[in-house]
Structure 1
Amino acid sequence: MKKIIVLLVMFQFLGCHELQKVVNQIPVKELLSQEQIGEGLRQALDNGIRNQVSKLTAIDGFYGNSLVKILLPKELNDVDRGLRKIGLGNLADKGIRAMNRTAEEAVKKATPIFVDAIKNITFMDAKNILLGNQNAATRYLEGKTNEKLYVEFHPVIKKSFINVGADKIWKNLILKYNSIPFVDKVNPDLTDYVTKQALNGVYTMIAVEEKGIREKVGLRNTTLLKKVFALQD
């Protein structure tokens, strides 16, 4: 639209021959097929999974990443403060680390579900994503995968709590806290909380990759990605 306005203004001052020269110098973006646009969006989401989500499965993938580190739910902040007041800060830290370890284990189940969702992107999906905001692709993927991932993550996290010893850590932690005089006793089930936090972490990291591809030409690591995202520049 800006280019059209500029041309109309210039038309008032230039002859037809001079105006045609100007038009010829305006870069024309290459036309892409529906299939190419769809494939470009698939490549962008593949990058998010490969470059970002895979990092979450490593040791400290959650715990060492301030963007996605899982902290205690608000209702357990008193537990954290209470333990630290009586010199058991290390125990509280151990409990937090254990929660993050379970998330790191669960995310290993995510990739196949993402791959299926990416395969099914339609042209209309791709068009809406391309013309959407900086996390439009991530939100699309979340809508397609959130319920399936929750079903996959929840039992893994429940089992992982046992595998990494988080169940014993939390049992000990809560027992210690409940032994503090005059505190309200707690008995939390953290499986649902950690599952949802793990999912939030996955989509957060995909959004990081998507934002980078949209804003930084250098992160468009294939010819098709460069062509597709040039359409939204």
Structure 2
Amino acid sequence: MKKIIYILSLITLSACAELTAVMETYNANAPLTENEVASGLKEALRVGTDSAAAHLGATNGYYGDDLVKILLPKEADVIVKNASKLPGGEKVIEDVVKHINRAAEDAAKEAGPVFWGAIRQMTISDAFNILKGEDNAATQYLKNSTYKQLFDLYQPKIQASLDKEIAAGISPNMSWETLTGKWNQIADNPFGKMAGLNTVNVDLDAYLTEQALNGLFVKIAEEEANIRKDPMARVNAILERVFGSSQTS
């Protein structure tokens, strides 16, 4: 009798194991639920924004990356082209470029929480539209729905970075004021006016905020495209479940 009970127990355990395996296979192949899609898209944006902020927040994150490196405003092209007319002008220009990129790198360290708040607001309907959208659909959703808020939150961080000393007695704002001040003196004098030179008046912190955010969205779009196309970029099960399914549907 004990042997019979033991054998029946083994059969029951085996059947349960097989049933569990079948159910697991079924669940893995089942259509995506609304919650899975929403969770997957939010996770993709979290991974993308974290990675982008970490990349850009590192030393040379902006300055060493030609794709997002912040150059002087186009209004300052006349200064760059005529830098030789300013004593030490070329060095001053390079100092300003480096300093404003350092300011952006400093601000990027604070970008993560700003994006996380927006990511949490994504609806299930938004998630399904993004899943079937272009390779940068999630990035565009995030940019279109949060850009003004991000700008308003990000600009004070940029301004603080611009006012922070990077070298002894030197801040990005001071470098910019030195550069434009010297140029505007030349442009404003009679000879400058005769030569058709224009003064340069740019709101540097607003310009830098726009460029820093644009660079951040560029990097987020890269991360999103990688997650959509490259299985190795899907760093956890929910990303593989959502984006693996979207490629086969």
TM-score, with structure 2 as normaliser: 0.77
Backbone CA RMSD of aligned residues: 1.8
How many residues of Structure 1 are paired with residues of Structure 2 in the alignment?
206
Shift of residue 84, structure 1, vs aligned partner: 4.2
Listed one character per residue, the Cα deviations across residues 155-193 of structure 1 (whole Å, up to 9, x for unaligned) are 222222110401211121123323445232323321111
Match of 1:155 in 2: 156
1:231 aligns with 2:237: no
Shift of residue 63, structure 1, vs aligned partner: 0.9
What is the alpha-carbon distance in structure 2 between the residues aligned to residue 224 and residue 159 of structure 1? 38
What is the alpha-carbon distance in structure 2 between the residues aligned to residue 117 and residue 156 of structure 1? 18
Shift of residue 45, structure 1, vs aligned partner: 0.8
1:121 aligns with 2:134: no
- What is the one-letter code of the residue matched to 2:245? L
Match of 1:74 in 2: 74
What is the alpha-carbon distance in structure 2 between the residues aligned to residue 189 and residue 147 of structure 1? 17
Which consecutive segments of 4 or more residues in structure 1 shift more than 4 A? 84-87
What is the alpha-carbon distance in structure 1 between the residues aligned to residue 201 and residue 36 of structure 2? 53
Shift of residue 201, structure 1, vs aligned partner: 0.9
What is the alpha-carbon distance in structure 2 between the residues aligned to residue 107 and residue 232 of structure 1? 31
Shift of residue 140, structure 1, vs aligned partner: 1.2
- What is the one-letter code of the residue matched to 1:159? A
Listed one character per residue, the Cα deviations across residues 57-97 of structure 1 (whole Å, up to 9, x for unaligned) are 12221111111111112111111111146552121111111
Match of 2:216 in 1: 202
TM-score, with structure 1 as normaliser: 0.82
What's the % identity of the aligned pairs?
Answer: 37
What is the alpha-carbon distance in structure 2 between the residues aligned to residue 199 and residue 114 of structure 1? 11
Q: Does the C-alpha gap of structure 1 residues 185 and 119 become closer, same or farther in structure 2, counting only changes over 3 Å? A: closer
The answer (yes or no) to whether the contact 2:61–2:105 under 8 Å persists in 1 is: yes
Which is higher, the Rg of structure 1 or of structure 2? 2
Structure 2 unaligned regions, length at least 5: 1-27, 166-170
Shift of residue 149, structure 1, vs aligned partner: 1.2
Which one is further off, 41-50 or 105-114? 105-114
Structure 1 unaligned regions, length at least 5: 1-27
The answer (yes or no) to whether the contact 2:135–2:225 under 8 Å persists in 1 is: yes
The answer (yes or no) to whether the contact 2:89–2:179 under 8 Å persists in 1 is: no
Shift of residue 29, structure 1, vs aligned partner: 4.7
